[in-house]
Amino acid sequence: MDFGRIGGILRSGIDYPWLLLSVFLGVLSHVLRAVRWRLLVDMLGVKSSVYMLTNAVFINYGANLLLPRLGEVARCAFVSKKTGITFPKIFGTLVSERLVDMFLVALLVVTGFVAFSDLFNSFFAQNILWRFTSASERATPLFYGVTALVVLLLAGLSVYLYHTRFGLKVRLLLHEMWIGVKTLLLVPHKAQFYLLSISVWGVYLLQLYVCFFAFGFTCSLSFGVAIALFVMSSVAFGIPVQGGIGPWHFMIISTLIYYGIERTDAAAFALIVHTLQTAVNAATGLYAFVYSGKFNLKQ
């Protein structure tokens, strides 16, 4: 990256109110996620507060900057401490929430492949540098033999452990987790839940789109380009890397170049926008962690 050029953009090439609006939308997305999650958590018999759950979401995204998926564990541990609900049940509600998110992202990506087929074809042609071996190359007797042996060993181990104390603990843990997962099926306000789910991802899209207006070289890009950029960045966030650092930048830069933005400007956009989002997640996560007394304060 040309950091001299990026420094010049920071000094005189940014309309900062648009970035502040992006910050507001980023925080709003966390609040909406907490409101949605409350519909599931309250199904477990304990009335939770949006404020407490928002802090949990803040901690989730802040901790994920330290280690991929650490935030999900910290988020559930936080709520378990605050409410007295067991960790597996809380984790089950998180699994339900993630299943809905996975469905929406998959729908978004499939729709993107159809609507922006030229973009995806160009991206894969230029950037996919490996080839997939055919099934005939993998399907050797050794491959099938090792696979069968692993399956048999796992099946035998499962049968052996089933009636042990460890097996009982695992079954109880899975049962409690299933109680949390079932909240998705039993939630009484399904329309509200799914509307909130769509709203969360809609706000994510707007958070990215308003950043276009902060830079002279992207302010003329259409909302359709923002959708394409959002689809590509969503794919990047599927890679288990802290905060999407690296894959997110690569996807954003590649897409902006496809739409005519000069490489250095595209890199500046990716670096500045992602740094802003990361700083917000770090700040809100630190705020929630410190203000909540490291999980020890009462709700």
pLDDT tens across 48-67, in order?
899 999 999 999 999 988 88
Contact 123, 228 (CB under 8 A): no
Is the alpha carbon torsion for 44, 47, 50, 52 positive or negative? negative
Query: Residue 183: in which H helix or E strand, if any?
Result: helix 183-186
Whole-structure pTM value: 0.80
Indicate the pLDDT class of residue 298, thresholds 50, 70 and 90. very low
What is the CA angle 82-86-87, rounded to 5? 85
- For residue 78, which of 53, 95, 98 has the smallest C-alpha distance? 53
CB atoms under 10 Å from CB of 201, counted, come to 18
Q: Tell me, what amino acid is at 156? A: G
pLDDT tens across 193-231, in order?
999 999 999 999 999 999 999 999 999 999 999 999 999
